Structure 1
Amino acid sequence: MKTDDLIQALAVDLPARGKGRIERRLLLTLIPAGLLVLAGVGLWLGFRSDLSDAMLGPTFWAKAAFTTGLAASGFWLLARLGRPGASALAPLLVLAALLLGVAGLAIHELTSMPMPERMPALMGDSARACAPNILLLSALAAPFVFWSAKAFAPTRPTLAGAAAGLLTAGVATTLYGLHCPEYTASFVAVWYMIGISLAVAAGAAIGRLVFRW
């Protein structure tokens, strides 16, 4: 019997997961992961000096809503992949909608600006540091999430690894917003997404090894 056939056969024979068990396990895992990332932001990068004022405005929460949505998509996708035979289509569609939404906002933002203002909006003041910071903060949360997900024995290890990477990157990027003062949709669509994409790619590579049967 081929390895893939064996995996599918074992998956079919697995007892039904307790309702919500996977989600509860992941949520519990995110507590220490999130606290470690929060500590990393506070001790390494530092919280933005105008944080209290920023939290009174809509752009702070709009950015947080987007990155939280990415984390939720990764969470949902990873939980689905932990159930043999479950479809991953719904979380992937939500993820696609989020990405198309921020891309659309970025395009609208840039095309609505005078030409001299476009590059400053796109680059901000921290373009070079943004993606590496997100990737490193994601790495702090990754061991917790991968350890938790390994117990589910997902049958699609590469996709599950990518989902775990998306989850960790979403959490890391949301908390990174406590440090990062950038607020334009174009900055988020480019530099945030580069860091998140790197975390997803790393997660896919790790998942292929960690989740392999």
Structure 2
Amino acid sequence: MKTDDLIAMLASGPDVAAAPPPGARWRTAATLGAGLLASVALMAAWLGVRPNLAQLALRPDFWIKLAFVASVCLAAWHASRRLGMPGANTGSLLRWLALPLLLMWLLGAAAIATAAPELRAELFWGTTWRSCPLLIALLSLPVLAAMLRAMRQLAPTRLRLAGAAAGFAAGGAAALVYCLHCPEMAASFIGFWYVLGMLVPAAIGALLGPKVLAW
């Protein structure tokens, strides 16, 4: 049997499973933890935590917002991790990313449809639409740098897609940090302006992926 045939047989065998290199999980956790702490420190020093955060935490829509952002962040992180392992199954990644987005969009659409006409614009625009996406994008930069550094320790092959997933995960993490400052609660606002802020680092990651993640 030729060497190339043996390699092909082993690679296509049923017992072969994609796995990160030894020690990658600990290095990744340390790298991402440092990026997240930097984002939290930037938010606290620049924007500050809302003084009425304890009162906001008593509202169900606050926890809906947190659950949405956390779900998007975890789904994007899972996608970036799978894209960093050659041969890993990536067929269901889009569904995991789309599910929290669709649920929040449906919730926001229902809220606008049932609201009084004079309140619908406020539910969508809120009071911080001009700054919200930009602030999320800026807070995501330390996490994005950490995500890309962590992915360099893996072996992504679809570099642009892997970079976009890393950027979207960084945007989700930054949005989670931004929740400690943001006063907005409407599902329609969160589903559009928060997601817009997450898409900025996703676009940056897609641009940087072929250059930063090449191996």
Q: Cα distance 1:20–1:108, how it changes in 2: closer, same or farther (>3 A)?
A: farther
Instruction: Compare CA radii of gyration and give the structure with the larger one.
Output: 2
Unaligned runs of 5+ in 1: 1-8
Classify the secondary structure of the residue corresponding to 2:86.
Answer: coil
- Tell me how large the CA RMSD over aligned residues is: 2.2
Which residues of 2 match residues 128-139 of structure 1 at below 5 A?
Answer: 128-139=130-141
CA contact (8 A) 2:86 2:155 kept: no
Cα displacement string for residues 46-74 of structure 1 (whole angstroms, at most 9, x for unaligned residues): 11121111122222111111111111011
Q: Cα distance 1:183–1:211, how it changes in 2: closer, same or farther (>3 A)?
A: same
Higher helix proportion (structure 1 or 2): 1
Instruction: Measure, in 2, the Cα distance between the counterparts of 1:169 and 1:199.
Output: 6
Counterpart position of 1:182:
184
- Matched residue type, 2:61: T
Match of 2:52 among 47, 50, 53: 50
Q: TM-score, normalised by structure 2?
A: 0.87
CA contact (8 A) 2:164 2:205 kept: yes
Counterpart position of 2:161:
159
Match of 1:88 among 68, 87, 90: 90
Counterpart position of 1:141:
143
Classify the secondary structure of the residue corresponding to 1:186.
Answer: helix
CA contact (8 A) 2:20 2:85 kept: no
Query: 2:60 matched to 1:40?
Result: no
What is the number of residues matched between the two proteins? 203
Instruction: Measure, in 2, the Cα distance between the counterparts of 1:16 and 1:86.
Output: 5
Q: TM-score, normalised by structure 1?
A: 0.88
